[in-house]
């Protein structure tokens, strides 16, 4: 594959990986790890059990994580770069629709719901975001890591992209971590280099999160039962993001295992697996995931179309190499 084709394929790999992780992980969202292991690990698409936030979704259907990622990607394409006011306008319109849809409203986390209601009441993006340090801005941010080549651009744009909904230092740092991880993976850095760069950029916003990501990398050879109970898997960014980096660090050369590790982690499994899938796909492209997962994913063609357009627009901004 030529370099340009390889790069284009990584865009699709990243966005499909996020959606595949989200779709697999939704089956265990909110469940305890011990209950997941008792029921049997998930290995393929299926319905979420009654009582899970995604219980009304179809087997290959993704959740709010991928929906918000697509909102961000479309905003980047239309504006030919990140424009926070356009993104928050799109997000508030998307959120209004999702909160009025009975099959989707329970998927949206507390920080996003709070901010969507405030944005729709006329509060501007600078003041609408919640202080809850949850992972909603980290789970959707991958397109920024794809779009910009310069890591400092990625860092700043990712940080601002968090503010309309997640205005805590932890959530902002979480968005930076994932976007930088994607940008470094796209550039072909190795796993330890990706973690080092992500931790260094994250420490500009939240040293605690940076230390937790570093810790999760140090635990990559330890068994998941022990590591997930140490790191935590709740919807808080201090748990989801280090757990996703652990799954990535442990299995980056076997992306399907990375995603399944994340989808069975317990807690916020859709977001942990969404972030893990984005990192793996940005590193290794669409070949990372089995054909049956790609084929069974709802709106797969739409996601591929958005990824291709994102590639086209982002690369057209750069001088020809």
67 binds Mg ion (CB under 5 A): no
Cβ distance to Mg ion smaller for residue 243 or 314: 243
Binding of Mg ion by 75 (CB under 5 A)? no
Q: Tell whether residue 261 is a contact of Mg ion (CB under 5 A).
A: no
CA proximity to 137, closest of 161, 108, 102: 161
Looking up tokens 């909102």 gives 71
- Pick from 170, 174, 177: nearest CA to 200: 177
* For Mg ion, the closer CB: 61 or 314: 61
Stretch that binds Mg ion, among 106-114, 157-165, 229-237, 278-286 (CB under 5 A): 106-114
Residue 62 or residue 156: which is nearer to Mg ion going by CB? 62
Candidates 13-21, 78-86, 258-266, 270-278 — which segment interacts with Mg ion by CB under 5 A? 270-278
Distances (CA, A) of 279 to 34, 103, 204, 219, 317: 26, 28, 21, 18, 24
Q: What share of the chain is helix, strand, coil (3-state, %, to 5)?
A: 70, 0, 30
Question: Which residue spans within the chain are E strands per DSSP?
Answer: none
The window from 40-48, 101-109, 223-231, 275-283 that contacts Mg ion (CB under 5 A) reads: 101-109
Helix (H, G, I), strand (E, B) or coil at 140: coil
In the complex, what is the shortest distance from the CB of residue 30 to Mg ion, in angstroms, rounded to a whole number? Answer: 10
Asked whether the beta carbons of 28 and 82 are under 8 A apart, the reply is: no
By CB under 5 A, residue 270 contacts Mg ion: yes
Residue 65 vs 206, nearer CB to Mg ion:
65
* Residue 64 φ then ψ, to 5°: -60, -25
Q: Does 239 bind Mg ion (CB under 5 A)?
A: no
| Residue nearer to Mg ion on the CB measure, 9 or 27 | 27
Q: Is 113 in the site for Mg ion (CB under 5 A)?
A: no
Binding site for Mg ion (CB under 5 A): 63-65, 107, 270
């Amino acid at each position: 594959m030529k370099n340009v084709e390889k790069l284009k394929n990584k865009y699709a790999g990243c966005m499909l990986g996020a959606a595949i992780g989200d779709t697999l992980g939704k089956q265990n969202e909110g469940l305890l790890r011990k209950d997941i292991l008792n029921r049997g690990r998930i290995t393929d698409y299926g319905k979420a059990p009654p009582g899970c936030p995604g219980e009304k979704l179809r087997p290959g259907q993704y959740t709010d994580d991928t929906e918000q990622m697509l909102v961000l990607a479309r905003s980047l394409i239309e504006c030919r770069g990140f424009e926070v006011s356009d993104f928050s306008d799109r997000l508030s319109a998307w959120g209004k629709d999702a909160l009025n849809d009975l099959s989707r409203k329970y998927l949206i986390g507390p920080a996003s719901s709070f901010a969507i209601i405030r944005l729709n009441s006329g509060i501007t993006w600078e003041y609408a975001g919640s202080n809850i340090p949850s992972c909603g801005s980290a789970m959707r941010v991958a397109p920024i890591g794809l779009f910009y080549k310069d890591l400092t651009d990625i860092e700043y744009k990712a940080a601002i992209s968090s503010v309309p909904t997640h205005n805590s230092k932890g959530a902002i740092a979480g968005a930076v971590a994932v976007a930088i991880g994607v940008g470094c993976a796209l550039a072909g850095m190795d796993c330890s280099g990706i973690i080092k760069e992500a931790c260094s950029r994250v420490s500009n916003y939240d040293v605690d999160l940076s230390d937790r990501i570093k810790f999760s990398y140090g635990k990559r050879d330890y068994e998941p039962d022990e590591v997930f109970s140490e790191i935590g898997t709740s919807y808080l960014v201090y748990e989801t993001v280090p757990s996703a980096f652990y799954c990535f660090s442990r299995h980056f050369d076997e992306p399907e295992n990375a995603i399944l590790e994340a989808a069975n982690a317990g807690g916020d499994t859709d977001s942990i697996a969404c972030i893990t899938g984005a990192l793996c796909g940005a590193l290794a492209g669409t070949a990372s995931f089995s054909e049956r997962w790609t084929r069974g994913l709802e709106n797969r063609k739409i996601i591929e179309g958005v990824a291709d357009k994102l590639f086209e627009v982002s690369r057209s901004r750069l001088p020809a190499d």
